[in-house]
Structure 1
Amino acid sequence: MTGYGENKREHAMRLRRVEGQIRGLQRMVEEDKYCIDILTQVSAATSALKAFSLALLEEHLAHCVAEATLKGGPEAEAKIKEASDAIARLVRS
């Protein structure tokens, strides 16, 4: 089972909202909307995607990483490295 399994429905709904925001951005460009208005919406979509990412990361740490650390050994080390790399990617984005 994945770490986000219990909240899969909520995550899917959140991603559908982000998808709607992106479609709205496409419409804004097609309709030649004002640049600053588009940038404001880009910021909102980016924030929504970051919030989703952080929620998913929290669940991964609480479930997958925690489970691996209980087992210990190379699997635990690999999960911690994997999580650390994911955090680094999020910070850079």
Structure 2
Amino acid sequence: MSEISNQKQIINRLRRTEGQIRGIQKMIEDDKECVDIITQLSAVRSSIDRAMGIIVAENLLHCIDQPSENTEEQNKKIQQAIQMIIKNKITPLGIRIQFPYT
């Protein structure tokens, strides 16, 4: 994680998300409407997707801006980032995308 320049931004986002999750727990305990709970869960998912996108983008930018002398290691990191994008269906902006063959 030391390669991430937006670490403070990501930590703040995760703290807000943590608060949202606590709020959702309270909503469930208070028997709030299902649609309201789902709306909040969707907001949490979007926030986490955004954090994931930022982290993956930072990793890719680091590989491009500061190439490793060990090209095999660098290629492995890039492949890992690509696999994370495909597996989690995210973009660097954290927007969920649909891949036709996954």
TM-score of the superposition, structure 1-length normalised? 0.83
Deviation at 1:88, TM superposition (A): 1.6
Percent identity for Structure 1 against Structure 2: 37
- Which aligned segments of 4 or more residues in structure 1 are displaced greater than 4 angstroms? none
Q: Does 1:55 align with 2:58?
A: no
Where does structure 1 lack aligned partners over 5 or more consecutive residues?
Answer: none
Q: How does 1:1-93 map to 2 (within 5 A)?
A: 2-4=2-4, 6-63=5-62, 65-66=63-64, 67-68=66-67, 70-71=68-69, 73-91=71-89
Rounded to whole Å, the distance in 1 between the matches of 2:89 and 2:47 is: 15
Q: CA deviation at 1:57?
A: 1.1
Post-superposition CA distance 1:50-69 (Å, at most 9, x none): 11111111111111x2234x
- Contact 1:21 / 1:45 at 8 angstroms: preserved in 2? yes
Taking structure 2 as the reference length, what is the TM-score of the superposition? 0.77
Higher-helix-fraction structure:
1
